Amino acid sequence: MIIRINEYSDIPIYMQIRNQIVMGISSGELSAGEQLPTVRALSMEIGINTMTVSKAYQILKSEGYILTDRKNGARVRMEINQSKSLSNENADELRRIISEAKISGIAKEDFNKLIDEMWGK
């Protein structure tokens, strides 16, 4: 899995890493139980500090997406907690995005199509 950092983004690097790994898990690009690159390997690959990668991994761990053990590094968790609901933050964000979509003149059916595409088959 390739992580791409946008150094000009307002989103902190550790959060970009976190987000891309979550999206990789969601898309199936990273499968349950799969090994993630080591903190050192990933930090060298994308040219950032190990602390920054480590912070991303710790967030993913605290969110229950990955597990780390001392021997093997980090792996995607086999059973991720299925809350079956959006976090309040994500719900707020979604409301904001929908508001902006409506103002920009996107039709409801086009927005639905966009969601379908992003969700995947």
Binding flags for DNA, 70-89, as an x/- string (CB under 7 A): xxxxx---------------
Tell whether the torsion through CA atoms of 68, 31, 51 and 62 is positive or negative.
negative
Report d(CA 78, CA 30) in Å as an integer: 11
Q: Where does this chain touch DNA (CB under 7 A) — which range of 24-32, 50-58, 84-92, 106-114?
A: 50-58
CA proximity to 58, closest of 49, 68, 71, 46: 68
Residues that bind a copy of itself (CB under 8 A): 7-8, 12, 19, 22-23, 25-27, 62, 65, 67-71, 80-87, 90, 93-106, 108, 110-112, 114-115, 118-119
Phi then psi for residue 76, to 5 deg, are -70, 135
* Residue 93, contacted partner among a copy of itself, DNA, none, CB below 5-8 A by kind: a copy of itself
Q: Could you tell me the smallest distance in angstroms from the CB atom of residue 60 to a copy of itself?
A: 12
* Residue 57, contacted partner among DNA, a copy of itself, none, CB below 5-8 A by kind: DNA
Which distant-in-sequence residues (6+ apart) come within 8 Å of 40 by Cβ?
50
Q: Could you tell me the smallest distance in angstroms from the CB atom of residue 19 to a copy of itself?
A: 5
Site residue total, DNA (CB under 7 A): 25
- The residue assigned the tokens 């792996």 is 75
59: helix, strand or coil: helix
